[in-house]
Amino acid sequence: MYLTITYKLNLNIKKGHIRSLINKNSIGHKNSAVPLRLASFVTYKLPCINQKTERQVKIWKAKKKEKFLSRRPSSREVVVTLLFVSINEGESQNFIMDDNDQDHLIEDDYYTFLNIPKNATQEEINSAYRTQSKLYHPDKHVDPILKKEAEVLFNRTKAAYKGLCEIPFNALLIVVVLSNPHHRAIYDTVGIRGLKTEGWEIVERTRTPQEIREEYEYLAREAQERKLLSLTNPTTSITMNINATDLFNKYEKDPEDSRDMLSRIEVSGMSFTQSIEAPLTLQDIVTLYGQLNTRNGTGSGSVNVSAKRLLSSKGWVELEVGAGNGPMISFKGFRMLPYKVLFNGATILEFTPFEIKASLIGRLTMQLDTHTMGELTYNAGPESSMSTSIVRDTARTYTSFSLHLGILQSFVNFTYIYKMHEKEMKLRGSVRAGTFGLVVEYGAEKKISRHTKLSAVVSAGVPTGVMLKLKLNRSFQTYAFPIHLSDEVLPATVFYATVVPLMTWVVLKKVVIDPMVKKREEREKEKEKEVNKTRMMEKQKEAESATKLMKATVSRIRATEESKKGLIITKALYGRFVYPQQNQYNSEQQSIRRDEVIDVTVPLQCLVKDSKLILYDASKSELPGFYDPCVGEEKQLLIQYLFRNQTHECIVKDNAPVRIPLPSHKVNTT
C-alpha cells in the first residue's frame, strides 16, 4: 500500500537532474501542487501537519490516505534514490499495486532496446547509442508532431544510456545505466528491482561493481533473515500404511468370508510427524518436533527439542533432548574440513528402564569432482555398521552405489534416476541385494504444480512381496501411502501395481489437473494484461511513433541494399500465430486471433547493417518499433526476406537469437 503525499513544491521535469537538484534542495521554477507517490520499499522521515515533532513513516504499513506536508522536506529528509511519480488525479488508482501486481509488471530491457548483447563492450554500447540518437533526435524533424514523438524515443534512448528513465504514467525513476560500469553491474546482477531493495539508497555511487554486488547480497540476506524471524517454518509428514494383500491372495478364498472388495483393505498403521522452528538470533535456532506411531493397535510417540548454533560458515553444533519410550539426549555437529571434506558426527544416549543405550555416529563426505561425492559412515552402538557410497549427480542423471556392512544386515544398493526437465518428471530404478533378500524398485516423480510433487514407486522383492508406494509433497507437507499388495511376487500383482496408478494419473490429469492449470494460467494472463494495460498502450503508441520516424532511414537502407542485392525484408510479423491444425475456430474467433500479430517489417529493415540482421536472445517486444500484442502468450517472429534476389523465410521463437541471411532459410520456388 502506498502513502500519497501532496505538497506545493517547485518541479522541473524536463531537465531531469533529480539527484543534483535534491542535493541542492532546489527544484525548478514553476510552482504547482503535485501529488507524489512514495515507493513502498523505503522508510521516509517526513514532517506531518498534525504533529509538532517529526516521526518515521513506514510506507508499506500505512493505510491508503493523504497527508499534506507543512513545509518542503530538506535534502536530509528525502532519500537520494526516491522514486518520483508525477501523476494526475484520475491516474492515482493505477499506481496502487500490491507485491503480486509488481511481480506481473513488465520491465524494460535496455540491452534489447539498443539491440546489443548482454556482454557488449563499452564501445558497442556507445555505437548503439549514437545510432539511435541520430535516428530519434528531435532536431532532425520539422513537423511538430513528429518532433514530439521523436523526443519521447530520444529520452528513452538516453534513459538506457545515461540513467534517467521515463517510464509510463509520466514517471521519473533513477535506474541502472549501461554507460556506467557500476550501474551496469547492478543491472546485470539483479535487474531494475535490485535498486528498489530496502536499504539500497545507502550505496555510494563511487563503489566498485564487486562492492555493489556484495552490498546488494547483504541487503537481500537481511530481508530474508527478517522473513525467517517472522515464520515458524512448520513441516508435516503423514504416513498411512495400507494392507491390501487379501485382494491378491492366490489361495482360494474362504467361502464363509462375505466381505466385499473395499472391506478387504485395512489400515495397518499410521505415523504423524511435525516440526516447528523458532529462530532466536541469526546464529541460534530452536526446533520443536514430535511424532506419533501406531501399528496393529500398538502406539508409540516422542517429543523432542533441539537447539542449533551456527558457529561460522563452516560449522554448527546441535543439542537435542527428547522424551517418549524413555529420555533421550544427543549432541550433533558439522564441520567443513580442508580438501573439500565434510564431517558430521552425533552422540546419542537413550535411557530405558533396564539399560542405557549409547551410539556414536560419524560421517565423512568428500567431493571427488564437480558432480561426484563420496561418503563413509560408521555407526558404533547396538546396531553397529559401516557403509560407504558414491553419488554422481548431473543435470540429467543421478547415480548412487552403496555398500553396507552391519551386525543385523549387510547389502549393496544401486540407484539410478533420469531427470526429464522439459516434462518436469523423474524416472527412477533401484536394486538392493543382501542378507535379507532381493528388492527391485521402479517408479516416477512428477511435478504437477509449483509447490506440489506426486510420486509412485513399485517395490517387488523377497521376502517383502509387492508394494506400491504413493507420495504427495505439497510445500512443507508430505503424505505417504505405502500399500502392501501381496506377500509374494506375483505377475498379476506387479501388473496392476504398475498399470492402475498410470491409468489413474492419466484420467486425473485430463479431467482435473489440466483444466485447473489452464484456468490458473488464464487468470495469470488476464492479471498480467490488466496490470500492463496502460503500459502496453503507451508501448504501442511509442512503437507506432518509432515506425514513422524510421521510414526515411529505412528508405535509404533499402535503396543501399537493393543496389548491391543485399538483405531486403519483404515481410515481418510478430506475435501469436494461429495455425489451422491447432484449433478449429469460427471466422469471428479467427479474426480476433489474427489481431495478435503486428507488422514489424520497417523496424527490422532499420536494424539491417551491411546486409546482415542480428537479434539477440531476448524478447523482441523491447526492440524499437515493437510492442507486445498478446501479453502472456507465446510469441514468434516470422521473417520473409530477399538476399541476392533469392526468397528466404524463417520463423523463430520470441527469445531465440536471430542471424540472417542463412542458406537454410532459402525457399525452393520450383
What pLDDT digit, counting tens, does each position of 93-105 carry? 333 344 444 445 5
pLDDT tens by residue, 466-482: 999 999 999 889 999 99
- Asked if the model's pLDDT at residue 64 lies above 80, the reply is no
Cell of 84: 518520483
Q: Name residue 277's beta-bridge partners.
A: 287
Of 382, 413, 441, the position where a domain reaches its end is: 382
Name which residue leads in pLDDT, 111 or 594.
Answer: 111
Q: Report the C-alpha gap between 569 and 466 in whole angstroms.
A: 65
CA angle 225, 195, 208 (to 5 degrees): 95
- Asked if the model's pLDDT at residue 495 lies above 90, the reply is yes
Averaged pLDDT for residues 186-205? 47
Q: Does a structural domain hold residue 459?
A: no
The predicted model scores a pTM of 0.59
Q: Does a structural domain hold residue 522?
A: no
Are both 607 and 630 inside the same structural domain?
A: yes
**CATH number for 341:** 2.40.160.40
* pLDDT > 90 fraction of the chain, expressed in percent and rounded: 35
Q: Does a structural domain hold residue 216?
A: yes
Per-residue confidence band for 47, with pLDDT thresholds at 50, 70 and 90: very low
- Comparing CA positions, the residue from 83, 92, 69 lying closest to residue 18 is 83
CB atoms within 10 A of CB 574: 28
Averaged pLDDT for residues 504-525? 87
What H or E segment, with its residue span, contains residue 38? none
Are both 289 and 153 inside the same structural domain?
A: no
- Comparing CA positions, the residue from 311, 351, 301, 315 lying closest to residue 330 is 351
Are both 242 and 354 inside the same structural domain?
A: yes
Per-residue confidence band for 432, with pLDDT thresholds at 50, 70 and 90: very high
Of 351, 382, 413, the position where a domain reaches its end is: 382
- Comparing CA positions, the residue from 668, 658, 670 lying closest to residue 569 is 658
Name which residue leads in pLDDT, 497 or 170.
Answer: 497
Q: Report the C-alpha gap between 136 and 158 in whole angstroms.
A: 11
Q: What's the number of domains the chain is made of?
A: 3
**Half-sphere exposure of residue 268, counting CA atoms within 13 Å on the CB side?**
13
Residue-level pLDDT at 202: 33
Are both 218 and 295 inside the same structural domain?
A: no
Q: Does a structural domain hold residue 171?
A: yes
Pairing of strands 477-486, 235-243: parallel
Are both 175 and 290 inside the same structural domain?
A: no
Averaged pLDDT for residues 204-230? 63
Are both 640 and 658 inside the same structural domain?
A: yes
Relative orientation angle of helices 181-190 and 209-229, to the nearest 10 degrees: 40
Q: Report the C-alpha gap between 601 and 383 in whole angstroms.
A: 75
Are both 244 and 192 inside the same structural domain?
A: no
Angstrom CA distances, 55 to 50, 51, 58, stand at 11, 9, 10
Residue-level pLDDT at 162: 55
Q: Does a structural domain hold residue 389?
A: no
Are both 300 and 365 inside the same structural domain?
A: yes
pLDDT tens by residue, 539-564: 888 888 888 888 888 898 999 999 99
pLDDT tens by residue, 290-335: 999 998 888 899 999 999 999 988 999 999 999 988 899 999 999 9
Domain extent at residue 564: 535-582+589-665
Are both 558 and 644 inside the same structural domain?
A: yes
Asked if residue 452 lies in contact with residue 513, where contact means CB atoms within 8 angstroms, the answer is no
| Poorest-pLDDT segment among 197-211, 239-253, 392-406 | 197-211
Cell of 667: 525457399
- Asked if the model's pLDDT at residue 391 lies above 90, the reply is yes
Cell of 556: 535509404
Work out the mean pLDDT of the chain and round it to a whole number: 74
End-to-end CA separation in angstroms for the chain:
64
Q: Name residue 383's beta-bridge partners.
A: none
Asked if residue 504 lies in contact with residue 75, where contact means CB atoms within 8 angstroms, the answer is no
Q: Name residue 83's beta-bridge partners.
A: none
Q: Does a structural domain hold residue 98?
A: no
Pairing of strands 636-643, 567-575: antiparallel
- Asked if the model's pLDDT at residue 15 lies above 70, the reply is no
Are both 185 and 308 inside the same structural domain?
A: no
Are both 129 and 209 inside the same structural domain?
A: yes
- Comparing CA positions, the residue from 603, 637, 629, 619 lying closest to residue 537 is 629
Of 382, 409, 425, the position where a domain reaches its end is: 382
Are both 315 and 345 inside the same structural domain?
A: yes
Scan for cell 534512448, then name that residue.
157
Q: Does a structural domain hold residue 289?
A: yes
Q: Does a structural domain hold residue 593?
A: yes
Name which residue leads in pLDDT, 324 or 141.
Answer: 324
